[in-house]
Structure 1
Amino acid sequence: MSAKTLYGSANCRGCNDPITEANDSEGHVIPNALGGCLKPKRIICQTCNGVLDRLADNALIKAFGDWPTLMDIPRDRGNNPSKIVDTRNGKRVRVEPDGTLTRIDVDYNVATSGDESKIAIAAGDMKTVRQLLQRVKKQFPEFDAKAAEQYAQVVGLQDDDLLKMGLDFSPPAVFGGVVTALWIFLVTTTGRAFMDMPKLQQVIADVQTHGGMFRYLPDGLPGLVGPEISLSNKIVVRSVPSTGELIGYVEILGMLQIGGIFASAGGPAVEIEHIYVHDVIGKRDRSAEYSIDKNVFDRQNWRTVGRGPTLQDADALKAHFRRRLENVFVRRYHNRFSAAVA
C-alpha cells in the first residue's frame, strides 16, 4: 500500500504532487512567530510551503521586528527567541521573552593620570568580565583580578535610554504574506484555491510592488461585528453577491489590518462567508462571536475603502501605526510587568 493511500488522497495545491506524511508541511496560515495557530494539513507540501516562506512569509515576520519577543507572544510551537537590540544611546542589549534586558556591550577603558590608572570594564556576562579582568592583569601585573570580581555589579539601562524597536508595514514587507494567508485559508474553508501557484506568485509580486487591489484598513473591516480583542489574528473572506467580488481581510496581532479584492467573478455570484478570529493572548478561537453586517459590507467600494500604499496616505498611515503601537504593543509590554508587580 502506498504512502499516498495510507495518508489520504490529497494533492499539493502548489505543485499537484501527492501529499504524504513525510512531505506534508502543516504550514501555519498566519506564521507561528506571529501567534498563528491555524495550521491545516494536506494543503501544501513542504517544498511549496518553503517557496511561499521565501516569497512572502519571512518578510511578514521580519516586518514585526523584535516586538513578538518583547511582548512574549504565545506561539503554537516553540518559544520566542532572544533578540539583540540597540538602544537610542548606542548600547546593545539582549532581550529575553521574560522581559530581561542584558547589556552585551564590551567596554575596556583605561584613564591614566600621573601614577594612577582608572580602569572601567563592562560586559554582558561574567565569563566575558573575567576575560577582561585577565586582560587588566596582563597590563597591570599588580592588579588583583579576584578581588575586583567581587565588585562586579549588574547595571541596567539608564532611565532616559530607550530600545530601538522598528516596524515595517510597507507593501514589500507585508502584502505578500497577507495574500498567502488568504490563499491557504480559502483552500481550507472552501476547497478551492481560486488561483494556481504561478498565478499566486505573480499576485504576490504585484502586491509587494504596488499593493494591487489591497489597501490598509485602519478602522478594521467594514461590517465586521464582534467584541474588541486587543491582540488578535483575524481572517475574513466574504463575497459581495451583487458584484461577484471576493473580499479578503487579514488582521495580525491587532496591529496590521489589510483587506481588498482577492478575486472577482465578473458578475453576480453566490454568497461566500468565512470568519476566523483567534485571541492570541487568551489562546482560544473566538470566531463564533463575530458576524458580518451585510448592509454595511455590501455598500462599500472595495477599490477605495481604507487607505492605499501611496504617498498621499503615507503621513496618515504613519500616525495611525504610531497610535496603534502605543495602544496595543507598548500597552501589552507594560501590562505584563505591572500585573506581575501587583
Structure 2
Amino acid sequence: MTTPICALCEKEITQENDTKEHLIPNAIGGRRKLKGFICESCNNTSGDDWESALAKQLNPLSLFFGISRERGEAPSQLFETTGSDRLKLNLHGSMDIEKPLYSETPLESGSGVQIQIKARSMPEAKRMLQGVKRKYPQVDLNELLDNAKSESSYCSDMLKFNLSFGGHEAGRSIVKSALALAVSSGIPAEICGEATNYLRKEDSEACFGYFYASDLIKNRPEGIPLHCVSIKGCSKTKQVIGYVEYFGVQRVVLCLSDSYEGEDISNTYAINPITGEELSLIVELDLSNGDIREAYDYKKIPEGSVEAAFDKVIPTGMEASFEKEKNRVVNQAVKHAFENCGAKEGEMLMPEHINKLTGLMMEKLEPFILHQLAQSRKKK
C-alpha cells in the first residue's frame, strides 16, 4: 500500500499528522471531507490564509443566502447603505446599528439635559443607563429602565454590496479544492504539476481564470446558488481540467495538469449551500487549450454575463430573507403577546387575556407589515 504524500509540502502523511480536509471550505457551507490529501500543518496554514481570504470575499453572499455551515456561522458584516448609514447584517437577516448611540441635549430652561440612547439590545441599553446613573447620581435608574422600550424598525435604504473576486490567496483556495477532488478521484497530486506549482510556489503563474462564455453545467437547477467542483482527466489532450463554481456566480476554469497520461476520468461534487443537500450535476469540460488560456486572460467574460449569473439566483436569496424575517417576527410577536397578556404560565387563558393577545402581537408585527407595504409600493 502506497503511503500518501501531502499535496502541499510533500511530507509523508501518517496517522499522527493526517487531517480531514473540506473539499469545499466549511466557511462557505462545504460538507464533504477528505483524508490523506494534506497534512495537519498545511491544513491549518491554508485555512488561515487561503480559505479565510475566499470566505471574506464571499461572506456577503453567505449572509445574503443564509448558508448552512457544518461548523459555526457566517460572521456578521458591516455595510454602508445608499443613505450613507452603516448597518451590521447578521446571518438570519436581522440588522443592527454599527455601535450604540448616546447624545445629550441641554434643555431650553437650562435646568437639565435630555439624554437619548439607542442600543442594539436591552442588556446593552441597561449598561448605558447605568453609566448615566454614575454621571448623574440623582437620576432614578429604575424609572429609566421602566420607560425603556424595545422597538423594531427597517432600513428604508438599500445596502451597498461591493463584491470582488480574485487575488492569489482566494485563488489558491479554489485551486486546492479542484486538486483535492482530482486526488480523491485517483489522480496523484504529483501529476497535477500546474496546480501543485501554483500552490507551493509564491511566484508561480496562476492556473485559473473566470469563465462565463457558456454554461458548463448542463442541468443547472433553477434558482439554486450552488457550489460545484468538477474535474476531467483526458488521455487524448493530456490535460486535467477543473471547474469550480461558488454561489452560482463565481465561475472558474483551471488546468491542473498538461502532462496527464492516465485513463479518462471525470468527477463532480456539488451542493446547495443553503440546505447542505448534495446535487447531481452534469458538467461538460470540453475546453480547448485556447479556451483555458483566454479564461486566464479575462477574455471569457462576455458583457453582462456576470450580471446574468447573479440575476438567476438573487430571487432565491430575496425569498429566503423574507421567509426568515417573517418567521422571526411572528415568533417574537407570539412570545411578546403571551408574556404580557396577564396570564401566568400554565394558566388557562381567560377572555380578557385573549382580547389583549391581538393588540400585543400587532405591536411587534406592525413594523414588518408597514415595511412590506412600502416595498410593494416601490416595486409598482
Q: 1:314 to 1:83 in 2, by over 3 A?
A: farther
Give the secondary structure class of the aligned counterpart of 1:109. Answer: strand
Contact residue 59 and residue 74 of structure 2 kept, 8 A? no
Match of 1:119 among 100, 115, 120: 115
Distance 1:54 1:232 in 2: 24
1:145-164 to 2 correspondences below 5 Å: 145-164=141-160
C-alpha deviation, 1:149, in angstroms:
1.5
Distance 2:128 2:232 in 1: 62
2:268 maps to a residue whose letter is: I
* Residue 30 of structure 1 pairs with residue 24 of structure 2: yes
1:199 maps to a residue whose letter is: N
Specify the alignment match of 2:254 in structure 1. 260
Distance 1:187 1:204 in 2: 22
1:121-200 to 2 correspondences below 5 Å: 121-172=117-168, 174-193=170-189, 194-195=191-192, 199-200=197-198
Contact residue 70 and residue 99 of structure 1 kept, 8 A? yes
1:281 maps to a residue whose letter is: I
C-alpha deviation, 1:44, in angstroms:
1.2
* Residue 216 of structure 1 pairs with residue 207 of structure 2: no
Contact residue 175 and residue 204 of structure 1 kept, 8 A? no
Specify the alignment match of 1:326 in structure 2. 314
Distance 2:295 2:324 in 1: 32
C-alpha deviation, 1:331, in angstroms:
4.7
Specify the alignment match of 2:291 in structure 1. 302
Give the secondary structure class of the aligned counterpart of 1:231. Answer: coil
Contact residue 30 and residue 181 of structure 1 kept, 8 A? yes
Distance 2:247 2:192 in 1: 27
Specify the alignment match of 2:277 in structure 1. 284
Distance 1:24 1:14 in 2: 13
RMSD of aligned C-alpha atoms?
A: 3.7
Distance 1:168 1:282 in 2: 25
C-alpha deviation, 1:120, in angstroms:
0.7
Specify the alignment match of 1:235 in structure 2. 229
Structure 2 residue ranges without an equivalent (≥5): 331-380
Match of 2:6 among 7, 12, 25: 12
Aligned length: 324
1:52-91 to 2 correspondences below 5 Å: 52-76=46-70, 78-88=71-81, 89=83, 91=85
Identity fraction in percent: 19
Distance 2:196 2:243 in 1: 22
Distance 1:283 1:51 in 2: 26
Contact residue 261 and residue 303 of structure 1 kept, 8 A? yes
Specify the alignment match of 2:354 in structure 1. none
Structure 1 residue ranges without an equivalent (≥5): none
Give the secondary structure class of the aligned counterpart of 2:37. Answer: coil
Contact residue 104 and residue 125 of structure 1 kept, 8 A? no
**TM-superposition CA deviations, 1:268-311 (whole Å, max 9, x none):** 87522212222333433333xx33558xx25784235668447x
1:143 maps to a residue whose letter is: V
C-alpha deviation, 1:188, in angstroms:
0.9
Q: TM-score, normalised by structure 2?
A: 0.70
